[in-house]
Amino acid sequence: MKTRVLFIVIVMAIFGFTNCSDDEASNSIENNFGDLQAEIDGVLRVFPVVSGAAYNEFNNQISIYTYNGDIEISLLILFPPVTGTYDLSNNESHASVTFGDPFDIFDQNGDGPAITFPAVDGYVTITELDEERVVGVFEFTGELEGTGQHSVKEGEFNILRQ
């Protein structure tokens, strides 16, 4: 009986330490994709980057996505994978700022739906682009007809590629 209890305690301890180790590893990976910051409606916001900058060969686009819990900013860049400045007011590229929890589709937390404001003007400038990372700056005005505008200024990012 003592042997069986000791065996169970040892197995639980190993399982617990293994899970702690994996949690720490996954947290460090989530926080090592890079950084993005922007002034939204006059308030400087620093966002954790939730994944590396992904390249979609089919659409020839790079996408950058960040989320901080109460304000989400997503930047989707449609351009050939070269450095340069891209206009956000046409089909060349796209950006948007979303307020609210984009993952709470049915408003289960009762704080209202997420509202996305697509860019109506602005730019993104890619200053460095290689196989490892994408670096750049951006600025735009997000607008949703009938709900108003939000300014996104002095944005900058330095993010690892996927």
**What does the pLDDT average to over 10-35?**
44
* Total Cβ atoms within 10 A of residue 34: 19
Task: Work out the pLDDT band at 93, boundaries 50, 70, 90.
Answer: confident
Q: Do residues 162 and 137 lie in contact, with contact meaning Cβ atoms separated by under 8 Å?
A: no
What is the rounded distance in angstroms from the CA atom of residue 102 to the CA atom of residue 144?
16
Q: What is the mean pLDDT of the chain?
A: 76
SS3 annotation, 5-19: HHHHHHHHHHHHHHH
Question: Residues with Cβ < 8 Å from 76, sequence gap 6 or more?
Answer: 61, 63, 64, 65, 93, 94, 95, 96
What is the rounded distance in angstroms from the CA atom of residue 158 to the CA atom of residue 49?
10
Task: Work out the pLDDT band at 1, boundaries 50, 70, 90.
Answer: very low
* Total Cβ atoms within 10 A of residue 27: 10
Q: Do residues 150 and 141 lie in contact, with contact meaning Cβ atoms separated by under 8 Å?
A: yes
Residue of 155 and 96 predicted with greater confidence:
155
Task: Work out the pLDDT band at 92, boundaries 50, 70, 90.
Answer: confident
Identify the sign of the CA torsion 77, 81, 85, 91. Answer: negative
